[in-house]
Chains A and B, each alone.
Chain A
Amino acid sequence: MTVRILYFAALRDEAGRAQEECELEAGDTPARLAQRLLGFNRNVFYAVNDEMATADHLLKDGDTVAFVPPMAGG
């Protein structure tokens, strides 16, 4: 059971990587993965399979999870 993690912009710079594969644990959510992989909880948003998702979205095998810094569109 794995998920693919994508890092963008400032988060990618801080993490030192653009993507990685990660083992999924039972009950994992984007917020739990962020805590485990980044070592801290930041003010970030989450996307799962290219759709915005909540922090407590229940993840499943094969999902792609993006850690998304606050947007600066326009």
Chain B
Amino acid sequence: MLIEITTEAIDVQRALDHVRHPACGAVTLFEGNIRNTNEGEPVQALEYEVYESLFHNVVRQIIDEARERWAFHDVAVIQRSGLLAIGDCGIAIAIGSGHRREALEALEYLIEEFKVRAPVWKRELTAQGQRWLNWEPQVRR
């Protein structure tokens, strides 16, 4: 199992190489990349913030949950932190398994769970300014 946080460009090949194995007939890969628009508005860049020690614990927990449901061989998660440009990879998740069904279904589970449970936050930079995603600023009482 590989869980890594990096401020450098993600080396997707490293994630793939980590999970490849003679016993694995299937390898699946998810790249979460920075899109040039969000809700129809142009985006210039995204800043990623990661609570690193909690990230490791939460990701391990989610992987353990997946292992209880699907028999895969190995998994690699590489998470980017810092300022990302359009097209940059924000997260790479790779899974190797004996057969394709496990690798596909476990990958989808990890993606969906990371989205709501992994302690990662994104600040969107646009021509109009910047804002944290998933957050409504509120005036302090």
A residues sitting closer than 8 Å to B (CB atoms) are: 6, 8-10, 13-14, 38-40, 42, 47, 50-52, 66, 68-74
Is B137 touching A8 in the complex (CB atoms < 8 A)?
no
Interface residues of B in 3-49 (CB under 8 A from A): 32, 49
> Secondary structure at chain B's binding surface: helix, strand, loop or mixed?
mixed
B residues sitting closer than 8 Å to A (CB atoms) are: 32, 49, 51, 53-54, 57-58, 90-91, 111, 114-123, 132-135, 137-138, 140-141
Is A51 touching B54 in the complex (CB atoms < 8 A)?
yes
Is B138 touching A66 in the complex (CB atoms < 8 A)?
no
Is A71 touching B116 in the complex (CB atoms < 8 A)?
yes
Sample of 11 A–B contacts (CB below 8 Å): A8-B49, A9-B49, A40-B140, A40-B141, A71-B115, A71-B121, A72-B132, A73-B115, A73-B117, A74-B118, A74-B120
Is B140 touching A39 in the complex (CB atoms < 8 A)?
yes
Q: How far is the CA of A52 from the CA of B116 in the complex (A)?
A: 13
